[in-house]
Protein backbone atom coordinates (compact mmCIF):
# COMPACT_ATOMS: atom_id res chain seq x y z
CA UNK A 1 0.00 0.00 0.00
CA UNK A 2 2.81 2.41 0.91
CA UNK A 3 4.55 1.75 -2.40
CA UNK A 4 1.36 2.41 -4.28
CA UNK A 5 0.87 5.80 -2.58
CA UNK A 6 4.44 6.85 -3.38
CA UNK A 7 4.05 5.68 -6.94
CA UNK A 8 0.79 7.56 -7.37
CA UNK A 9 2.36 10.71 -5.88
CA UNK A 10 5.29 10.50 -8.30
CA UNK A 11 2.95 10.05 -11.24
CA UNK A 12 0.91 13.06 -10.03
CA UNK A 13 4.05 15.26 -9.80
CA UNK A 14 5.16 14.21 -13.27
CA UNK A 15 1.69 14.95 -14.57
CA UNK A 16 1.73 18.44 -13.07
CA UNK A 17 5.19 19.06 -14.46
CA UNK A 18 4.15 17.91 -17.90
CA UNK A 19 1.09 20.14 -17.80
CA UNK A 20 3.10 23.24 -16.75
CA UNK A 21 4.24 25.94 -19.18
CA UNK A 22 7.01 24.87 -21.52
CA UNK A 23 10.19 26.85 -22.09
CA UNK A 24 8.69 27.97 -25.39
CA UNK A 25 5.66 29.32 -23.53
CA UNK A 26 7.80 31.14 -21.00
CA UNK A 27 10.07 32.53 -23.72
CA UNK A 28 7.03 33.76 -25.64
CA UNK A 29 5.98 35.77 -22.59
CA UNK A 30 9.34 37.57 -22.62
CA UNK A 31 9.11 38.09 -26.35
CA UNK A 32 5.71 39.72 -25.96
CA UNK A 33 7.03 41.83 -23.10
CA UNK A 34 9.87 43.04 -25.35
CA UNK A 35 7.36 44.02 -28.02
CA UNK A 36 5.31 45.88 -25.43
CA UNK A 37 8.41 47.79 -24.28
CA UNK A 38 9.19 48.71 -27.87
CA UNK A 39 5.74 50.23 -28.24
CA UNK A 40 6.61 52.40 -25.25
CA UNK A 41 9.91 53.44 -26.92
CA UNK A 42 11.89 51.62 -24.21
CA UNK A 43 14.48 50.10 -26.54
CA UNK A 44 17.10 49.42 -23.85
CA UNK A 45 14.88 47.19 -21.69
CA UNK A 46 13.35 45.55 -24.77
CA UNK A 47 16.82 44.45 -25.86
CA UNK A 48 17.55 43.14 -22.35
CA UNK A 49 14.42 40.98 -22.51
CA UNK A 50 15.35 39.64 -25.94
CA UNK A 51 18.92 38.85 -24.89
CA UNK A 52 17.69 36.90 -21.85
CA UNK A 53 15.51 34.47 -23.84
CA UNK A 54 18.29 32.24 -25.19
CA UNK A 55 20.02 32.26 -21.79
CA UNK A 56 17.00 31.42 -19.64
CA UNK A 57 15.24 29.12 -22.10
CA UNK A 58 17.82 27.30 -24.26
CA UNK A 59 15.19 24.83 -25.51
CA UNK A 60 12.91 27.58 -26.83
CA UNK A 61 14.41 27.51 -30.32
CA UNK A 62 11.48 29.17 -32.08
CA UNK A 63 11.26 32.09 -29.66
CA UNK A 64 15.06 32.46 -29.60
CA UNK A 65 15.12 32.86 -33.40
CA UNK A 66 12.22 35.28 -33.26
CA UNK A 67 14.05 37.28 -30.58
CA UNK A 68 17.22 37.32 -32.67
CA UNK A 69 15.38 38.62 -35.73
CA UNK A 70 13.56 41.28 -33.72
CA UNK A 71 16.82 42.36 -32.12
CA UNK A 72 18.42 42.75 -35.55
CA UNK A 73 15.48 44.88 -36.68
CA UNK A 74 15.87 47.08 -33.61
CA UNK A 75 19.63 47.44 -34.06
CA UNK A 76 19.23 48.29 -37.74
CA UNK A 77 16.66 50.95 -36.90
CA UNK A 78 18.91 52.38 -34.17
CA UNK A 79 21.87 52.28 -36.57
CA UNK A 80 19.98 54.35 -39.15
CA UNK A 81 18.97 56.91 -36.53
CA UNK A 82 22.52 57.26 -35.24
CA UNK A 83 23.92 57.60 -38.75
CA UNK A 84 21.47 60.44 -39.34
CA UNK A 85 22.58 62.05 -36.04
CA UNK A 86 26.20 61.66 -37.10
CA UNK A 87 25.55 63.39 -40.44
CA UNK A 88 23.89 66.25 -38.58
CA UNK A 89 26.82 66.51 -36.12
CA UNK A 90 29.32 66.66 -38.98
CA UNK A 91 27.39 69.50 -40.59
CA UNK A 92 27.41 71.39 -37.26
CA UNK A 93 31.16 70.89 -36.95
CA UNK A 94 31.76 72.15 -40.49
CA UNK A 95 29.69 75.25 -39.77
CA UNK A 96 31.36 76.02 -36.41
CA UNK A 97 34.87 75.38 -37.74
CA UNK A 98 34.49 78.43 -39.98
CA UNK A 99 34.92 80.58 -36.86
CA UNK A 100 38.26 79.01 -35.98
CA UNK A 101 41.75 78.49 -37.33
CA UNK A 102 42.64 74.80 -37.06
CA UNK A 103 46.30 73.83 -37.07
CA UNK A 104 48.75 71.31 -35.68
CA UNK A 105 52.35 72.21 -34.94
CA UNK A 106 55.31 69.95 -34.27
CA UNK A 107 55.02 70.80 -30.56
CA UNK A 108 51.44 69.63 -30.19
CA UNK A 109 49.98 66.14 -30.18
CA UNK A 110 46.52 67.21 -31.33
CA UNK A 111 45.33 69.85 -33.77
CA UNK A 112 44.24 73.05 -32.03
CA UNK A 113 41.29 75.34 -32.75
CA UNK A 114 41.95 79.06 -32.28
CA UNK A 115 39.04 81.49 -32.49
CA UNK A 116 39.80 83.88 -35.38
CA UNK A 117 39.52 86.98 -33.19
CA UNK A 118 41.95 85.43 -30.67
CA UNK A 119 44.90 84.55 -32.91
CA UNK A 120 48.32 85.70 -31.69
CA UNK A 121 48.49 88.45 -34.29
CA UNK A 122 45.18 89.94 -33.09
CA UNK A 123 45.52 89.41 -29.34
CA UNK A 124 49.15 89.46 -28.18
CA UNK A 125 49.01 93.03 -26.86
CA UNK A 126 45.83 92.98 -24.80
CA UNK A 127 44.42 91.49 -21.59
CA UNK A 128 41.62 89.00 -22.19
CA UNK A 129 40.18 85.55 -21.54
CA UNK A 130 41.35 83.07 -24.16
CA UNK A 131 39.65 79.80 -25.08
CA UNK A 132 41.64 76.68 -26.01
CA UNK A 133 40.12 73.71 -27.86
CA UNK A 134 41.66 70.67 -29.53
CA UNK A 135 40.45 68.12 -32.07
CA UNK A 136 39.33 65.71 -29.31
CA UNK A 137 36.85 68.29 -28.04
CA UNK A 138 38.88 68.98 -24.88
CA UNK A 139 38.86 72.65 -23.90
CA UNK A 140 39.98 75.07 -21.22
CA UNK A 141 40.42 78.82 -20.77
CA UNK A 142 43.32 81.03 -19.79
CA UNK A 143 43.54 84.54 -18.39
CA UNK A 144 46.06 86.62 -20.34
CA UNK A 145 47.46 89.83 -18.88
CA UNK A 146 49.44 92.45 -20.79
CA UNK A 147 50.79 95.51 -18.95
CA UNK A 148 53.64 97.43 -17.41
CA UNK A 149 53.55 95.95 -13.88
CA UNK A 150 53.36 92.39 -12.62
CA UNK A 151 50.01 91.25 -11.24
CA UNK A 152 51.21 87.82 -10.16
CA UNK A 153 47.62 86.74 -10.63
CA UNK A 154 46.54 83.21 -9.70
CA UNK A 155 42.80 83.14 -10.42
CA UNK A 156 40.01 84.75 -12.37
CA UNK A 157 36.51 85.90 -11.44
CA UNK A 158 33.84 86.73 -14.03
CA UNK A 159 30.71 88.56 -12.89
CA UNK A 160 27.74 90.80 -13.65
CA UNK A 161 25.05 92.24 -11.37
CA UNK A 162 25.51 89.84 -8.47
CA UNK A 163 26.07 86.71 -10.59
CA UNK A 164 29.58 85.35 -10.83
CA UNK A 165 31.89 82.39 -11.28
CA UNK A 166 35.46 81.98 -10.05
CA UNK A 167 38.23 79.69 -11.18
CA UNK A 168 40.33 77.53 -8.92
CA UNK A 169 43.66 78.99 -7.80
CA UNK A 170 46.74 78.22 -9.93
CA UNK A 171 49.66 79.18 -7.67
CA UNK A 172 52.77 81.06 -8.75
CA UNK A 173 55.45 78.64 -9.88
CA UNK A 174 52.90 76.16 -11.25
CA UNK A 175 53.58 75.04 -14.83
CA UNK A 176 50.18 76.51 -15.77
CA UNK A 177 51.06 79.94 -14.38
CA UNK A 178 53.45 81.46 -16.87
CA UNK A 179 55.28 84.81 -16.77
CA UNK A 180 57.41 86.50 -19.44
CA UNK A 181 58.65 90.01 -20.11
CA UNK A 182 60.38 92.07 -22.79
CA UNK A 183 61.77 95.52 -22.08
CA UNK A 184 59.07 97.24 -19.98
CA UNK A 185 56.20 94.95 -21.02
CA UNK A 186 54.91 92.11 -18.83
CA UNK A 187 52.89 89.07 -19.89
CA UNK A 188 51.10 86.66 -17.57
CA UNK A 189 49.17 83.62 -18.75
CA UNK A 190 47.30 81.38 -16.29
CA UNK A 191 45.71 78.25 -17.76
CA UNK A 192 42.76 76.60 -16.04
CA UNK A 193 42.98 73.03 -17.32
CA UNK A 194 41.13 69.87 -16.31
CA UNK A 195 38.08 71.60 -14.86
CA UNK A 196 40.05 74.27 -12.99
CA UNK A 197 37.85 76.91 -14.65
CA UNK A 198 35.32 75.78 -12.01
CA UNK A 199 32.27 76.70 -14.08
CA UNK A 200 33.56 79.95 -15.60
CA UNK A 201 33.30 78.51 -19.13
CA UNK A 202 29.63 77.64 -18.68
CA UNK A 203 28.95 80.99 -16.99
CA UNK A 204 30.38 82.97 -19.91
CA UNK A 205 28.65 80.79 -22.52
CA UNK A 206 25.25 81.11 -20.83
CA UNK A 207 25.61 84.86 -20.30
CA UNK A 208 27.36 85.89 -23.50
CA UNK A 209 24.69 88.53 -24.15
CA UNK A 210 25.39 90.29 -20.83
CA UNK A 211 28.00 92.96 -20.07
CA UNK A 212 30.35 90.60 -18.29
CA UNK A 213 33.33 91.85 -16.36
CA UNK A 214 36.39 89.98 -15.13
CA UNK A 215 38.95 90.56 -12.42
CA UNK A 216 42.41 89.00 -12.44
CA UNK A 217 43.07 88.00 -8.83
CA UNK A 218 46.63 88.29 -7.50
CA UNK A 219 48.93 90.57 -5.57
CA UNK A 220 47.24 93.30 -7.58
CA UNK A 221 43.72 93.19 -9.02
CA UNK A 222 43.15 93.98 -12.67
CA UNK A 223 39.68 94.57 -14.14
CA UNK A 224 38.47 94.20 -17.72
CA UNK A 225 35.15 94.21 -19.57
CA UNK A 226 34.86 91.15 -21.79
CA UNK A 227 34.75 91.94 -25.48
CA UNK A 228 31.77 90.58 -27.40
CA UNK A 229 34.03 88.44 -29.59
CA UNK A 230 35.80 86.96 -26.54
CA UNK A 231 32.46 85.92 -25.06
CA UNK A 232 31.47 84.44 -28.41
CA UNK A 233 34.80 82.62 -28.55
CA UNK A 234 33.97 80.77 -25.34
CA UNK A 235 30.36 80.13 -26.35
CA UNK A 236 31.18 78.80 -29.81
CA UNK A 237 34.15 76.75 -28.59
CA UNK A 238 31.90 75.07 -26.03
CA UNK A 239 29.36 74.28 -28.76
CA UNK A 240 32.09 72.85 -30.97
CA UNK A 241 33.55 70.86 -28.08
CA UNK A 242 30.20 69.23 -27.36
CA UNK A 243 29.46 68.34 -30.98
CA UNK A 244 32.99 66.92 -31.54
CA UNK A 245 32.51 64.65 -28.52
CA UNK A 246 29.04 63.75 -29.78
CA UNK A 247 30.54 62.78 -33.15
CA UNK A 248 33.12 60.53 -31.52
CA UNK A 249 30.47 58.89 -29.31
CA UNK A 250 28.18 58.26 -32.27
CA UNK A 251 31.02 56.82 -34.36
CA UNK A 252 31.85 54.34 -31.58
CA UNK A 253 28.18 53.37 -31.15
CA UNK A 254 27.71 52.92 -34.90
CA UNK A 255 30.80 50.73 -35.12
CA UNK A 256 29.49 48.57 -32.27
CA UNK A 257 26.05 48.20 -33.91
CA UNK A 258 27.60 47.30 -37.26
CA UNK A 259 29.64 44.55 -35.59
CA UNK A 260 26.52 43.14 -33.92
CA UNK A 261 24.63 43.11 -37.21
CA UNK A 262 27.54 41.48 -39.05
CA UNK A 263 27.84 38.77 -36.39
CA UNK A 264 24.12 38.11 -36.63
| CA neighbours closer than 13 Å in the CB half-sphere of residue 264 | 20
Question: Do 11 and 66 fall into the same domain?
Answer: yes
Residue pLDDT, tens place only, 17-74? 555 678 888 878 888 888 888 888 888 898 888 888 888 888 878 888 888 888 888 8
Local confidence band at 3 (pLDDT 50, 70, 90 cut-offs): low
Q: Looking at the structure, tell me whether residues 6 and 107 fall in a common domain.
A: no
112 and 19 in a single domain? The answer is: no
| 161 has pLDDT over 70 | yes
Q: Are residues 155 and 27 part of one domain?
A: no
pTM of the model: 0.82
Is 113 in the same domain as 61? no
Q: Point out the domain boundary residue: 65, 95, 125.
A: 95
pLDDT at 16: 45
Q: Can you give the residue range of the structural domain that contains 172?
A: 100-248
Q: Are residues 87 and 154 in the same domain?
A: no
Asked if residue 48 is part of any domain, the answer here is yes
260 belongs to a structural domain: no
The side-by-side arrangement of strands in the sheet containing 155-160 is 163-166, 155-160, 213-217, 222-225
Q: Within this chain, do residues 210 and 239 fall inside the same structural domain, yes or no?
A: yes
Count of domains observed in the chain:
2
Q: What's the whole-number mean pLDDT along residues 100-111?
A: 91
Is 134 among the domain residues? Answer: yes
In a domain, 253, yes or no: no
Residue 170's Cβ-count burial label (10 Å; 0-12, 13-18, 19+) is buried
Instruction: Look over the chain and give the mean of its residue pLDDT values, rounded to a whole number.
Output: 90
Which range is most confident: 46-55, 103-112, 219-228? 219-228
Amino acid sequence: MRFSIQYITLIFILFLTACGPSEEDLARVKLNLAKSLLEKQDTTNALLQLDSISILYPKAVYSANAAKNLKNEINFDVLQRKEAELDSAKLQITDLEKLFVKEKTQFERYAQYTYKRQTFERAWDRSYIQVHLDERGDMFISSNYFGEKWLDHVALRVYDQGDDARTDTIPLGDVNNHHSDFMDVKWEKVSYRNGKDNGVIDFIAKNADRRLKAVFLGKRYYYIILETYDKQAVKKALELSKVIKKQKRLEAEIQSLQKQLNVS
